[in-house]
Amino acid sequence: MEGRTNADRQLEWFDRSGKQVGTVPGADAYASPRISPDGSRLLFYLDSGGYEIWTYDMVRGVKTPQTFGSASGQSNIFPVWAPDGSRIAYTSYHDGKYSLN
């Protein structure tokens, strides 16, 4: 679509009947969203120069960064929840090497 950028993505979720039940406020460069096992938080990464991992508390309506300081050519991407929702794991790319964090 002409005039759209990566930052034009909107995160929304729906119930089984197709009714919208939630949204993350504001369009941004969201990628790889994952809902926590208890359904209260959303995990994603943002594509905004350097890639960083964020969470969104769907109850309180608060976005919180989970990683910091990725420069151009460095990334923290593809986050996933631990089965109990207490931790996250993600892929990190720094200095030409991938690692699992």
Q: How far apart are CA 10 and CA 45, in angstroms?
A: 13
Structure tokens at 59: 């109850």
CA 22 to chain centre: 15
> Which comes out higher in pLDDT, residue 62 or 48?
62
The pTM (predicted TM-score) of the whole model is 0.82
The answer to whether residue 1 scores a pLDDT higher than 60 is no
Strand partners, 23: 12
> Which comes out higher in pLDDT, residue 75 or 72?
75
Q: Name the pLDDT band for 8 (thresholds 50, 70, 90).
A: confident
Structure tokens at 35: 């809902």
How many residues in total does the chain contain? 101
Structure tokens at 19: 């009714």
Q: Name the pLDDT band for 77 (thresholds 50, 70, 90).
A: very high
